[in-house]
A and B are shown apart, each in its own frame.
Chain A
Amino acid sequence: MQITEHKPLIVAFCCNWCSYAGADLAGNNRLNYPADVKIIRVPCSCRVNPMFVLRAFQKGADGVIICGCHPGDCHYTSGNYYARRRMAMLFSMLDYLGIERERTRVEWVSAAEGAKFSATMNDFVEKVTKLGKNKRLEDLRCKK
Protein backbone atom coordinates (compact mmCIF):
# COMPACT_ATOMS: atom_id res chain seq x y z
CA MET A 1 0.00 0.00 0.00
CA GLN A 2 1.27 3.43 -0.87
CA ILE A 3 1.61 5.90 1.92
CA THR A 4 0.10 8.67 -0.21
CA GLU A 5 -3.18 6.82 -0.67
CA HIS A 6 -6.18 8.73 0.51
CA LYS A 7 -7.46 7.45 3.80
CA PRO A 8 -11.21 7.79 3.79
CA LEU A 9 -13.27 8.87 6.73
CA ILE A 10 -16.32 6.66 7.11
CA VAL A 11 -19.17 7.34 9.47
CA ALA A 12 -21.25 4.32 10.48
CA PHE A 13 -24.49 4.88 12.35
CA CYS A 14 -25.21 1.66 14.21
CA CYS A 15 -28.33 0.90 16.17
CA ASN A 16 -27.72 -0.03 19.75
CA TRP A 17 -29.59 -3.32 19.76
CA CYS A 18 -28.28 -5.16 16.75
CA SER A 19 -25.57 -3.58 14.69
CA TYR A 20 -23.60 -2.02 17.52
CA ALA A 21 -23.65 -5.39 19.23
CA GLY A 22 -22.61 -6.92 15.92
CA ALA A 23 -19.64 -4.59 15.83
CA ASP A 24 -18.81 -5.62 19.38
CA LEU A 25 -18.93 -9.25 18.41
CA ALA A 26 -16.65 -8.58 15.47
CA GLY A 27 -14.20 -7.08 17.95
CA ASN A 28 -14.50 -9.96 20.39
CA ASN A 29 -13.89 -12.43 17.61
CA ARG A 30 -10.89 -10.42 16.46
CA LEU A 31 -12.38 -9.86 13.04
CA ASN A 32 -10.79 -6.87 11.38
CA TYR A 33 -12.42 -3.84 10.01
CA PRO A 34 -10.62 -0.65 9.02
CA ALA A 35 -9.96 1.96 11.66
CA ASP A 36 -11.27 4.59 9.22
CA VAL A 37 -14.77 3.59 10.25
CA LYS A 38 -16.07 5.81 13.00
CA ILE A 39 -19.07 4.27 14.68
CA ILE A 40 -21.83 6.45 16.07
CA ARG A 41 -24.22 4.55 18.25
CA VAL A 42 -27.90 5.42 17.86
CA PRO A 43 -30.83 3.93 19.75
CA CYS A 44 -32.44 2.72 16.54
CA SER A 45 -31.74 3.11 12.83
CA CYS A 46 -34.74 5.39 12.58
CA ARG A 47 -33.02 7.82 14.94
CA VAL A 48 -30.91 8.83 11.96
CA ASN A 49 -32.31 12.05 10.69
CA PRO A 50 -31.34 12.93 7.08
CA MET A 51 -29.58 15.90 8.59
CA PHE A 52 -27.15 13.56 10.44
CA VAL A 53 -26.08 12.02 7.17
CA LEU A 54 -25.68 15.35 5.41
CA ARG A 55 -23.90 16.87 8.36
CA ALA A 56 -21.43 13.99 8.39
CA PHE A 57 -20.67 14.68 4.74
CA GLN A 58 -20.49 18.40 5.35
CA LYS A 59 -17.90 17.87 8.06
CA GLY A 60 -15.71 15.75 5.86
CA ALA A 61 -16.99 12.18 5.79
CA ASP A 62 -16.25 10.32 2.56
CA GLY A 63 -18.93 7.73 3.09
CA VAL A 64 -21.89 7.20 5.39
CA ILE A 65 -23.37 3.83 6.24
CA ILE A 66 -26.39 3.13 8.39
CA CYS A 67 -26.73 -0.24 10.09
CA GLY A 68 -29.78 -1.51 11.89
CA CYS A 69 -31.56 -4.69 12.89
CA HIS A 70 -32.93 -6.83 10.08
CA PRO A 71 -36.40 -5.79 8.91
CA GLY A 72 -38.85 -7.37 11.30
CA ASP A 73 -36.31 -7.51 14.13
CA CYS A 74 -36.17 -3.87 15.19
CA HIS A 75 -36.10 -3.54 18.97
CA TYR A 76 -38.86 -0.97 18.61
CA THR A 77 -40.77 -3.14 16.12
CA SER A 78 -40.92 -0.81 13.16
CA GLY A 79 -38.15 1.78 13.40
CA ASN A 80 -36.07 0.27 10.64
CA TYR A 81 -39.04 0.18 8.26
CA TYR A 82 -39.33 3.94 8.55
CA ALA A 83 -35.58 4.30 8.25
CA ARG A 84 -35.63 2.18 5.12
CA ARG A 85 -38.07 4.50 3.36
CA ARG A 86 -36.35 7.63 4.55
CA MET A 87 -32.89 6.56 3.54
CA ALA A 88 -34.07 5.19 0.21
CA MET A 89 -35.50 8.61 -0.58
CA LEU A 90 -32.53 10.53 0.77
CA PHE A 91 -29.91 8.45 -1.04
CA SER A 92 -31.87 8.60 -4.23
CA MET A 93 -31.91 12.38 -3.91
CA LEU A 94 -28.16 12.48 -3.32
CA ASP A 95 -27.75 10.38 -6.43
CA TYR A 96 -29.99 12.81 -8.32
CA LEU A 97 -27.72 15.64 -7.26
CA GLY A 98 -24.78 13.78 -8.73
CA ILE A 99 -23.22 12.38 -5.57
CA GLU A 100 -21.57 9.01 -6.13
CA ARG A 101 -24.00 6.34 -4.98
CA GLU A 102 -21.25 4.17 -3.46
CA ARG A 103 -20.79 6.78 -0.75
CA THR A 104 -24.04 5.88 0.95
CA ARG A 105 -25.35 2.55 2.13
CA VAL A 106 -27.86 0.89 4.42
CA GLU A 107 -27.08 -2.56 5.76
CA TRP A 108 -28.96 -4.80 8.18
CA VAL A 109 -26.63 -6.45 10.68
CA SER A 110 -27.84 -8.49 13.65
CA ALA A 111 -26.07 -8.90 17.00
CA ALA A 112 -24.96 -12.36 15.93
CA GLU A 113 -23.45 -11.20 12.66
CA GLY A 114 -19.98 -10.08 13.69
CA ALA A 115 -18.60 -11.55 10.49
CA LYS A 116 -21.11 -9.72 8.35
CA PHE A 117 -20.29 -6.49 10.11
CA SER A 118 -16.62 -6.83 9.42
CA ALA A 119 -17.16 -7.93 5.80
CA THR A 120 -19.60 -5.07 5.17
CA MET A 121 -17.22 -2.47 6.54
CA ASN A 122 -14.26 -3.83 4.61
CA ASP A 123 -16.24 -3.78 1.41
CA PHE A 124 -17.67 -0.32 2.01
CA VAL A 125 -14.30 1.18 2.89
CA GLU A 126 -12.76 -0.37 -0.19
CA LYS A 127 -15.42 1.10 -2.48
CA VAL A 128 -15.24 4.53 -0.91
CA THR A 129 -11.44 4.49 -1.03
CA LYS A 130 -11.64 3.89 -4.75
CA LEU A 131 -13.83 6.94 -5.19
CA GLY A 132 -11.22 9.08 -3.52
CA LYS A 133 -11.84 12.26 -1.62
CA ASN A 134 -15.35 13.45 -1.23
CA LYS A 135 -15.00 16.61 -3.33
CA ARG A 136 -18.62 17.02 -4.28
CA LEU A 137 -19.92 17.29 -0.78
CA GLU A 138 -17.24 19.20 0.98
CA ASP A 139 -18.06 22.38 2.71
CA LEU A 140 -15.25 24.88 2.53
CA ARG A 141 -16.30 26.63 5.69
CA CYS A 142 -16.02 23.48 7.74
CA LYS A 143 -12.39 22.99 6.77
CA LYS A 144 -9.90 23.18 9.56
Chain B
Amino acid sequence: MQKITTDALVQKAVELLNNNTVSYVLGWKKGEFDYDITPYVFKDEKTLKEEFIYSDFCGVNLSKYLVAKTKELAGKILVFLKPCDTYSFNQLLTEHRFNREKVYAIGIPCEGMLDIDKIKLNLEGISSIVETKEGVKVNTLDDKTIELEKQAILLEKCKNCKSKKHYAYDELLGEEGDVLDNNRFDEVAKLESMTAEERFEFWQSQLSKCIRCNACRDACPACTCEKCVFDNPNSGIENKSPANSFEEKLFHIIRAFHVAGRCTDCGECSRACPQNIPLHLLNRKFIKDINEHYGEFQAGLEVGQRGPLVSYTTEDVEPSDVFNKGE
Protein backbone atom coordinates (compact mmCIF):
# COMPACT_ATOMS: atom_id res chain seq x y z
CA MET B 1 0.00 0.00 0.00
CA GLN B 2 1.31 3.38 -0.88
CA LYS B 3 1.83 5.56 2.12
CA ILE B 4 -0.15 8.76 2.31
CA THR B 5 1.95 11.77 3.19
CA THR B 6 1.26 14.75 5.39
CA ASP B 7 1.78 16.93 2.33
CA ALA B 8 -0.93 15.18 0.36
CA LEU B 9 -3.42 15.71 3.18
CA VAL B 10 -2.46 19.33 3.67
CA GLN B 11 -2.79 19.96 -0.04
CA LYS B 12 -6.26 18.43 -0.04
CA ALA B 13 -7.32 20.38 3.04
CA VAL B 14 -6.06 23.67 1.61
CA GLU B 15 -7.88 23.01 -1.65
CA LEU B 16 -11.19 22.36 0.16
CA LEU B 17 -10.71 25.40 2.40
CA ASN B 18 -9.95 27.67 -0.53
CA ASN B 19 -12.86 26.53 -2.68
CA ASN B 20 -15.15 26.98 0.32
CA THR B 21 -16.26 23.35 0.54
CA VAL B 22 -15.32 23.47 4.19
CA SER B 23 -14.55 26.18 6.74
CA TYR B 24 -12.57 24.10 9.22
CA VAL B 25 -10.22 21.15 9.21
CA LEU B 26 -10.22 18.68 12.06
CA GLY B 27 -6.87 16.95 12.04
CA TRP B 28 -3.73 16.26 14.03
CA LYS B 29 -1.30 18.94 15.13
CA LYS B 30 2.42 18.62 15.75
CA GLY B 31 3.55 18.83 19.33
CA GLU B 32 6.82 19.59 20.99
CA PHE B 33 8.03 16.04 20.38
CA ASP B 34 7.47 13.77 17.42
CA TYR B 35 5.14 11.65 19.45
CA ASP B 36 2.94 14.15 21.26
CA ILE B 37 0.33 14.92 18.71
CA THR B 38 -2.97 16.56 19.52
CA PRO B 39 -6.30 16.82 17.73
CA TYR B 40 -6.80 20.32 16.45
CA VAL B 41 -9.21 22.43 14.43
CA PHE B 42 -7.31 24.27 11.69
CA LYS B 43 -8.83 27.41 10.27
CA ASP B 44 -6.32 28.63 7.71
CA GLU B 45 -3.79 27.58 5.14
CA LYS B 46 -0.81 28.90 7.05
CA THR B 47 -1.37 26.86 10.21
CA LEU B 48 -2.19 23.81 8.15
CA LYS B 49 1.08 24.05 6.28
CA GLU B 50 3.12 24.67 9.38
CA GLU B 51 1.49 22.44 11.95
CA PHE B 52 -0.65 19.71 10.44
CA ILE B 53 0.81 16.22 10.63
CA TYR B 54 -0.12 12.68 9.73
CA SER B 55 2.41 10.27 11.15
CA ASP B 56 2.71 7.00 13.03
CA PHE B 57 1.54 8.75 16.18
CA CYS B 58 -1.88 9.83 14.96
CA GLY B 59 -3.72 7.13 16.85
CA VAL B 60 -6.35 9.54 18.15
CA ASN B 61 -9.78 8.83 16.73
CA LEU B 62 -11.14 12.20 15.62
CA SER B 63 -14.78 11.24 15.21
CA LYS B 64 -15.85 12.01 18.75
CA TYR B 65 -14.64 15.60 18.42
CA LEU B 66 -17.33 16.13 15.82
CA VAL B 67 -20.01 15.97 18.52
CA ALA B 68 -18.80 19.19 20.14
CA LYS B 69 -17.28 20.86 17.10
CA THR B 70 -20.31 20.59 14.83
CA LYS B 71 -22.33 22.36 17.53
CA GLU B 72 -19.71 24.96 18.29
CA LEU B 73 -18.68 25.94 14.77
CA ALA B 74 -20.93 27.44 12.15
CA GLY B 75 -19.34 26.14 8.94
CA LYS B 76 -18.66 22.74 7.50
CA ILE B 77 -15.83 20.69 8.98
CA LEU B 78 -13.39 18.52 7.11
CA VAL B 79 -12.37 15.48 9.11
CA PHE B 80 -9.77 12.85 8.32
CA LEU B 81 -10.78 9.31 9.23
CA LYS B 82 -8.62 6.23 9.46
CA PRO B 83 -10.45 2.98 8.67
CA CYS B 84 -11.30 2.14 12.29
CA ASP B 85 -12.43 5.72 12.94
CA THR B 86 -15.15 5.34 10.32
CA TYR B 87 -16.92 2.73 12.49
CA SER B 88 -17.17 5.24 15.32
CA PHE B 89 -18.28 7.89 12.87
CA ASN B 90 -21.21 5.70 11.77
CA GLN B 91 -22.07 4.70 15.30
CA LEU B 92 -22.24 8.35 16.35
CA LEU B 93 -24.55 9.03 13.41
CA THR B 94 -26.73 6.08 14.37
CA GLU B 95 -27.10 7.68 17.76
CA HIS B 96 -27.82 11.12 16.25
CA ARG B 97 -24.83 12.70 17.92
CA PHE B 98 -23.92 15.13 15.17
CA ASN B 99 -25.27 16.51 11.94
CA ARG B 100 -23.82 14.68 8.93
CA GLU B 101 -24.51 17.71 6.73
CA LYS B 102 -21.94 19.70 8.62
CA VAL B 103 -19.12 17.27 7.96
CA TYR B 104 -16.95 16.48 4.99
CA ALA B 105 -15.21 13.18 5.69
CA ILE B 106 -12.06 12.02 3.97
CA GLY B 107 -10.99 8.43 4.45
CA ILE B 108 -7.26 7.93 4.68
CA PRO B 109 -5.21 4.74 4.83
CA CYS B 110 -3.47 3.65 8.01
CA GLU B 111 -0.64 1.21 8.47
CA GLY B 112 -0.89 0.92 12.23
CA MET B 113 -0.15 3.54 14.86
CA LEU B 114 2.61 3.42 17.44
CA ASP B 115 2.51 3.40 21.20
CA ILE B 116 4.99 5.81 22.73
CA ASP B 117 4.80 3.97 26.05
CA LYS B 118 6.13 0.86 24.38
CA ILE B 119 8.97 2.81 22.79
CA LYS B 120 9.84 4.40 26.11
CA LEU B 121 10.25 0.97 27.65
CA ASN B 122 13.36 0.62 25.51
CA LEU B 123 15.12 3.85 26.29
CA GLU B 124 14.91 7.23 27.95
CA GLY B 125 15.47 10.80 26.86
CA ILE B 126 14.05 10.61 23.37
CA SER B 127 15.03 13.51 21.14
CA SER B 128 13.50 12.37 17.89
CA ILE B 129 11.75 9.45 16.25
CA VAL B 130 12.17 8.83 12.55
CA GLU B 131 10.03 6.44 10.57
CA THR B 132 11.93 3.78 8.66
CA LYS B 133 10.78 0.96 6.41
CA GLU B 134 10.65 -1.64 9.18
CA GLY B 135 9.68 0.57 12.07
CA VAL B 136 11.36 3.53 13.68
CA LYS B 137 14.78 4.89 14.47
CA VAL B 138 14.84 6.50 17.89
CA ASN B 139 17.48 9.08 18.76
CA THR B 140 18.17 10.11 22.34
CA LEU B 141 19.46 13.25 23.97
CA ASP B 142 22.76 11.55 24.74
CA ASP B 143 23.26 10.67 21.09
CA LYS B 144 22.24 7.07 21.20
CA THR B 145 20.23 5.56 18.38
CA ILE B 146 18.22 2.39 18.32
CA GLU B 147 15.98 0.83 15.77
CA LEU B 148 12.70 -0.76 16.76
CA GLU B 149 10.48 -3.03 14.76
CA LYS B 150 7.00 -1.80 14.13
CA GLN B 151 5.17 -4.92 15.28
CA ALA B 152 6.63 -4.62 18.78
CA ILE B 153 5.64 -1.02 19.33
CA LEU B 154 2.18 -0.89 17.79
CA LEU B 155 -0.72 0.44 19.84
CA GLU B 156 -2.73 -2.35 21.39
CA LYS B 157 -5.63 -1.57 19.10
CA CYS B 158 -3.45 -1.76 16.00
CA LYS B 159 -1.87 -5.08 16.91
CA ASN B 160 -5.22 -6.68 16.20
CA CYS B 161 -6.53 -4.31 13.59
CA LYS B 162 -9.92 -5.49 12.42
CA SER B 163 -10.13 -3.60 9.16
CA LYS B 164 -8.33 -1.42 6.67
CA LYS B 165 -11.63 -0.74 4.95
CA HIS B 166 -13.48 2.54 5.37
CA TYR B 167 -17.18 2.41 6.10
CA ALA B 168 -17.93 6.11 5.77
CA TYR B 169 -16.46 8.92 3.70
CA ASP B 170 -17.23 11.58 1.15
CA GLU B 171 -13.91 11.08 -0.48
CA LEU B 172 -11.15 8.54 -0.19
CA LEU B 173 -7.45 9.25 -0.45
CA GLY B 174 -5.02 6.45 -1.16
CA GLU B 175 -5.96 2.85 -1.75
CA GLU B 176 -8.90 1.15 -0.07
CA GLY B 177 -8.05 -1.86 2.11
CA ASP B 178 -9.91 -4.93 3.30
CA VAL B 179 -11.50 -6.24 6.44
CA LEU B 180 -8.80 -8.27 8.16
CA ASP B 181 -8.70 -11.63 9.84
CA ASN B 182 -7.56 -10.90 13.34
CA ASN B 183 -7.06 -12.55 16.67
CA ARG B 184 -8.74 -9.96 18.77
CA PHE B 185 -10.68 -12.45 20.90
CA ASP B 186 -7.74 -14.69 21.75
CA GLU B 187 -6.91 -12.96 24.98
CA VAL B 188 -10.54 -12.98 26.07
CA ALA B 189 -10.71 -16.71 25.40
CA LYS B 190 -7.54 -17.19 27.41
CA LEU B 191 -9.08 -15.43 30.39
CA GLU B 192 -12.29 -17.40 30.01
CA SER B 193 -10.37 -20.64 30.25
CA MET B 194 -8.83 -19.67 33.59
CA THR B 195 -10.42 -20.49 36.93
CA ALA B 196 -12.62 -17.92 38.65
CA GLU B 197 -9.86 -17.31 41.22
CA GLU B 198 -7.29 -16.63 38.51
CA ARG B 199 -9.62 -14.31 36.69
CA PHE B 200 -10.38 -12.46 39.87
CA GLU B 201 -6.68 -12.08 40.63
CA PHE B 202 -6.02 -10.83 37.13
CA TRP B 203 -8.72 -8.18 37.19
CA GLN B 204 -8.06 -7.21 40.77
CA SER B 205 -4.44 -6.48 39.94
CA GLN B 206 -5.36 -4.60 36.77
CA LEU B 207 -8.30 -2.59 37.99
CA SER B 208 -6.80 -1.64 41.33
CA LYS B 209 -4.33 0.49 39.34
CA CYS B 210 -7.17 2.69 38.14
CA ILE B 211 -6.89 6.29 39.30
CA ARG B 212 -10.38 7.13 38.10
CA CYS B 213 -9.16 9.88 35.83
CA ASN B 214 -12.10 9.13 33.48
CA ALA B 215 -9.79 9.33 30.45
CA CYS B 216 -11.22 6.05 29.14
CA ARG B 217 -14.68 7.49 29.30
CA ASP B 218 -13.67 10.80 27.82
CA ALA B 219 -11.80 9.26 24.90
CA CYS B 220 -14.53 6.78 24.04
CA PRO B 221 -16.62 7.77 21.01
CA ALA B 222 -19.50 5.70 22.39
CA CYS B 223 -19.52 7.68 25.65
CA THR B 224 -21.24 10.87 24.68
CA CYS B 225 -23.89 11.43 27.34
CA GLU B 226 -23.93 15.00 28.52
CA LYS B 227 -24.74 13.94 32.05
CA CYS B 228 -22.79 10.96 33.30
CA VAL B 229 -23.39 8.94 36.44
CA PHE B 230 -19.67 9.06 37.15
CA ASP B 231 -19.79 12.82 37.57
CA ASN B 232 -22.39 12.56 40.27
CA PRO B 233 -20.79 13.06 43.68
CA ASN B 234 -23.61 11.06 45.25
CA SER B 235 -23.06 8.05 43.05
CA GLY B 236 -20.90 6.27 45.58
CA ILE B 237 -18.34 5.54 42.89
CA GLU B 238 -16.55 8.85 42.68
CA ASN B 239 -13.51 7.61 44.56
CA LYS B 240 -10.31 8.87 43.03
CA SER B 241 -7.52 6.87 44.59
CA PRO B 242 -6.37 3.45 43.50
CA ALA B 243 -8.11 1.06 45.81
CA ASN B 244 -8.57 -2.63 46.19
CA SER B 245 -12.30 -2.62 46.57
CA PHE B 246 -15.32 -3.22 44.46
CA GLU B 247 -15.69 0.46 43.75
CA GLU B 248 -13.42 0.51 40.71
CA LYS B 249 -14.82 -2.74 39.40
CA LEU B 250 -18.26 -1.23 39.58
CA PHE B 251 -17.00 1.71 37.57
CA HIS B 252 -15.48 -0.54 34.94
CA ILE B 253 -18.42 -2.90 34.63
CA ILE B 254 -20.79 0.02 34.18
CA ARG B 255 -18.50 1.76 31.72
CA ALA B 256 -18.15 -1.35 29.59
CA PHE B 257 -21.81 -2.31 29.91
CA HIS B 258 -22.97 1.12 28.88
CA VAL B 259 -21.14 0.80 25.58
CA ALA B 260 -21.93 -2.90 25.06
CA GLY B 261 -23.49 -3.39 21.66
CA ARG B 262 -22.37 0.11 20.69
CA CYS B 263 -18.63 -0.26 21.17
CA THR B 264 -16.93 -0.52 17.79
CA ASP B 265 -13.74 -1.87 19.35
CA CYS B 266 -11.80 1.19 18.31
CA GLY B 267 -9.41 0.74 21.22
CA GLU B 268 -9.39 4.36 22.32
CA CYS B 269 -10.10 3.44 25.96
CA SER B 270 -6.97 1.35 26.30
CA ARG B 271 -4.91 3.86 24.38
CA ALA B 272 -6.02 6.71 26.60
CA CYS B 273 -5.51 4.93 29.92
CA PRO B 274 -2.46 6.35 31.72
CA GLN B 275 -2.28 3.21 33.85
CA ASN B 276 -2.17 0.84 30.88
CA ILE B 277 -5.19 -1.12 31.99
CA PRO B 278 -6.33 -3.45 29.17
CA LEU B 279 -9.85 -2.06 29.01
CA HIS B 280 -10.38 -3.48 25.55
CA LEU B 281 -10.52 -6.91 27.17
CA LEU B 282 -13.72 -5.88 28.92
CA ASN B 283 -15.32 -4.53 25.79
CA ARG B 284 -14.21 -7.49 23.72
CA LYS B 285 -15.77 -9.83 26.23
CA PHE B 286 -19.13 -8.21 25.57
CA ILE B 287 -18.55 -8.25 21.83
CA LYS B 288 -17.56 -11.91 21.95
CA ASP B 289 -20.59 -12.83 24.04
CA ILE B 290 -22.90 -10.89 21.76
CA ASN B 291 -21.44 -12.57 18.69
CA GLU B 292 -21.78 -15.99 20.23
CA HIS B 293 -25.28 -15.66 21.61
CA TYR B 294 -27.08 -13.12 19.48
CA GLY B 295 -25.31 -13.44 16.16
CA GLU B 296 -22.27 -11.66 14.70
CA PHE B 297 -22.53 -7.97 15.26
CA GLN B 298 -20.10 -5.18 14.44
CA ALA B 299 -21.14 -1.74 15.62
CA GLY B 300 -20.60 1.08 13.18
CA LEU B 301 -20.80 -0.86 9.93
CA GLU B 302 -23.67 1.30 8.76
CA VAL B 303 -25.82 4.11 10.01
CA GLY B 304 -29.11 3.03 11.58
CA GLN B 305 -28.13 -0.44 12.79
CA ARG B 306 -30.19 -1.69 15.70
CA GLY B 307 -27.94 -2.72 18.58
CA PRO B 308 -28.13 -6.20 20.08
CA LEU B 309 -28.94 -4.97 23.58
CA VAL B 310 -31.93 -2.98 22.40
CA SER B 311 -33.43 -5.92 20.59
CA TYR B 312 -34.29 -9.52 21.42
CA THR B 313 -35.65 -12.76 20.06
CA THR B 314 -38.06 -15.01 21.89
CA GLU B 315 -35.50 -17.82 21.58
CA ASP B 316 -32.68 -16.01 23.38
CA VAL B 317 -30.38 -18.00 25.63
CA GLU B 318 -31.21 -18.04 29.36
CA PRO B 319 -28.69 -16.17 31.54
CA SER B 320 -27.77 -19.38 33.36
CA ASP B 321 -26.78 -21.04 30.08
CA VAL B 322 -24.36 -18.32 29.09
CA PHE B 323 -21.94 -19.61 31.67
CA ASN B 324 -21.57 -23.07 30.32
CA LYS B 325 -18.21 -22.49 28.71
CA GLY B 326 -14.65 -22.55 29.87
CA GLU B 327 -14.15 -24.41 33.12
Q: A-side interface residues toward B, CB under 8 Å?
A: 50-51, 54-55, 57-58, 71-72, 78, 81-82, 84-101, 104-106, 136-142
Contact = CB atoms under 8 A, between A and B. Distances in A.
B314 A142 contact: no
Nearest to A57: B246
A96 B322 CA distance: 11
Given A54-B250, A85-B312, A92-B322, 6 more contacts: A50-B253, A82-B310, A89-B260, A89-B289, A104-B319, A106-B319
Looking at A55, A92, A104, A140, which has the most chain B CB atoms within 10 Å of its CB?
A92
Contacts of B126: none
Contact of B203 (A54, A87, A97, A141): A97
Contacts of B246: 57-58, 136-139
A95 B196 contact: yes
B256 A88 contact: no
30 contacts: A50-B254, A50-B257, A51-B254, A54-B250, A54-B254, A55-B236, A58-B236, A85-B312, A86-B309, A90-B253, A91-B322, A91-B323, A92-B319, A92-B322, A93-B282, A93-B286, A93-B289, A96-B285, A97-B200, A97-B249, A97-B253, A98-B196, A98-B197, A98-B199, A98-B201, A98-B203, A138-B246, A139-B246, A140-B243, A141-B239
B293 interface: yes
Indicate the size class of the contact surface on chain B. Answer: 35 or more
Contacts of B172: none
Nearest to A101: B323
B172 to A, nearest CB: 36
A42 to B, nearest CB: 16
A90 B257 contact: yes
Given A50-B253, A85-B316, A86-B309, A93 B285 contact: yes
Contacts of A85: 294, 308-309, 312, 316
B250 A89 contact: no
A142 B250 CA distance: 13
Interface in B50-74: none
B2 interface: no
Given A57-B246, A95-B196, A137-B246, A89 B290 contact: yes
B236 A87 contact: no
Interface of B: 191-192, 196-204, 229, 236, 239, 243, 245-247, 249-250, 253-254, 256-257, 260, 282, 285-286, 289-290, 293-294, 308-310, 312-314, 316-320, 322-323
B314 to A, nearest CB: 6
A57 B246 CA distance: 9
A141 B245 CA distance: 8
A78 B312 contact: yes
A85 to B, nearest CB: 6
Looking at A78, A91, A97, which has the most chain B CB atoms within 10 Å of its CB?
A97
Contacts of A101: 196, 323
A97 B318 CA distance: 20
B320 A106 contact: yes
Contacts of B250: 54-55, 58, 139
A139 B245 contact: yes
A51 B313 CA distance: 24
Contacts of B200: 97-99, 136
A51 B236 CA distance: 11
B199 A96 contact: yes
A80 to B, nearest CB: 9
Looking at A51, A72, A78, A137, which has the most chain B CB atoms within 10 Å of its CB?
A51
Contacts of B247: 58, 139, 141
Contacts of B310: 82
Nearest to A95: B323
